[in-house]
């Protein structure tokens, strides 16, 4: 674990569900889902461009 090697102590892991769209139940979860969906949609162009240019040898133009 890199954090332990860096000198951190009392390291733990906490898993929780993150909504990916506005279908979640509850006002707060819907807001979180809307933000996560916006973040995902903003990043998809860069992620797909990287895949197509590096793995498929396509031009970026």
pLDDT tens digits, 5-44? 999 999 999 998 889 999 989 999 999 999 999 999 988 8
Report how far residue 24's alpha carbon sits from residue 34's, in angstroms, rounded to the nearest whole number. Answer: 10
Residues sharing a CB contact under 8 Å with residue 50, sequence separation 6 or more, in sequence order: none
pLDDT value, residue 59: 65
Half-sphere exposure of 13 (CA within 13 A, CB side): 4
pTM of the predicted model over 0.75: no
pLDDT tens digits, 42-61? 888 888 887 878 776 666 56
Q: Retrieve residue 22's tokens.
A: 């506005």
Structurally, how many domains does the chain consist of?
1
The structure tokens 């916006």 sit at: 38
Structural domain including 34 reads 2-59
Report how far residue 3's alpha carbon sits from residue 17's, in angstroms, rounded to the nearest whole number. Answer: 23
């Amino acid at each position: 674990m890199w954090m332990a090697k860096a000198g951190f102590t009392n390291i733990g892991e906490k898993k929780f569900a993150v909504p990916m769209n506005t279908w979640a139940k509850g006002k707060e979860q819907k807001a979180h889902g809307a933000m996560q969906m916006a973040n995902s949609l903003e990043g998809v162009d860069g992620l797909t461009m990287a895949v197509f240019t590096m793995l498929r040898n396509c031009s970026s133009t």
